[in-house]
Chain A
Amino acid sequence: GIQVEQSPPDLILQEGANSTLRCNFSDSVNNLQWFHQNPWGQLINLFYIPSGTKQNGRLSATTVATERYSLLYISSSQTTDSGVYFCAVTGNEKLTFGTGTRLTIIP
């Protein structure tokens, strides 16, 4: 099946800093989503982005499908951004999740 790798596994930043999270996938995809799992365990859908660039407030994402990677940018980090960020993809089969990036924002 398709492999999804995320980096870095852990990231600790001061409030106000910017960050870039990366997702690499091993095959062509029909669907790519970024999720934020907050400290309460909820999976929040951030972006549906199989290709191109999208922005939502302080967050933006870019997927370069031909090179099989996606990037999630977080600007001016806030403590509420803490949690685990997952990339998930669908190729010819099920939605497969990466192992996540744990982001901790320090006040």
Chain B
Amino acid sequence: DAGVIQSPRHEVTEMGQEVTLRCKPISGHDYLFWYRQTMMRGLELLIYFNNNVPIDDSGMPEDRFSAKMPNASFSTLKIQPSEPRDSAVYFCASSPVWTGGNYGYTFGSGTRLTVV
């Protein structure tokens, strides 16, 4: 299995532009999570899906952030309009069950976003 695949690996954009981050979970994993990592706040959960349905988006910082999962093999996290304070590393993770199953959560390589 190729693991959780995220794209792009790096994104540099100007303030005010729309940014779309992409994630392909491991096949057969019913749970998909979006995390953000910053120096100030560490790793924090933004939103998670179960069977393509958003379950908890309480971590989404504001209305500028939105996430979708149109099918079991693809999810997007969109920021519109982007701001410099959105600069961070965004991780996607997937898991077969809520508790992680036998191997736990698997994380993608992350997208490093820089908003200038």
Chain A interfacial positions (CB closer than 8 Å to B): 30-31, 33, 35, 41-43, 45, 48, 50, 86, 88, 90, 94-97, 99-100
Name the residue of chain A whose CB is nearest to the CB of B89: A41
Q: Are B103 and A42 closer than 8 Å at their CB atoms?
A: no
Number of A-B contacts defined by CB within 8 Å:
53
In this complex, which of B43, B89, B104, B112 has the most chain A Cβ atoms within 10 angstroms of its Cβ?
Answer: B104
Which residues of A lie under 8 Å from residue B91 when comparing CB positions? Answer: 43
If A95-B45, A97-B42 touch, whether A43 touches B110 (CB-CB below 8 Å) is: yes
Q: Are B33 and A95 closer than 8 Å at their CB atoms?
A: yes
Describe A's contact surface by its main secondary structure: strand
**Cα separation A76 to B56 with both chains bound (whole Å):** 42
Interface size range on B against A: 20 to 34
Describe B's contact surface by its main secondary structure: strand
**Cα separation A33 to B105 with both chains bound (whole Å):** 8
Q: Are A31 and B104 closer than 8 Å at their CB atoms?
A: yes
Please pick, from A30, A45, A99, the residue contacting B107 in the complex, using a CB distance under 8 A.
A45
Please pick, from B42, B59, B99, B102, the residue contacting A90 in the complex, using a CB distance under 8 A.
B99
Q: Are A41 and B99 closer than 8 Å at their CB atoms?
A: no
Name the residue of chain B whose CB is nearest to the CB of A32: B104
Please pick, from B42, B56, B98, B107, the residue contacting A43 in the complex, using a CB distance under 8 A.
B107
Whether B106 is near chain A, meaning CB under 8 Å from some CB there, is yes
| 20 additional A-B residue pairs with CB within 8 Å, beyond A41-B89, A41-B112 | A31-B100, A31-B104, A33-B105, A41-B109, A41-B110, A42-B109, A42-B110, A43-B91, A45-B105, A45-B106, A48-B100, A48-B103, A48-B104, A90-B98, A94-B33, A94-B45, A95-B100, A95-B105, A96-B45, A99-B42
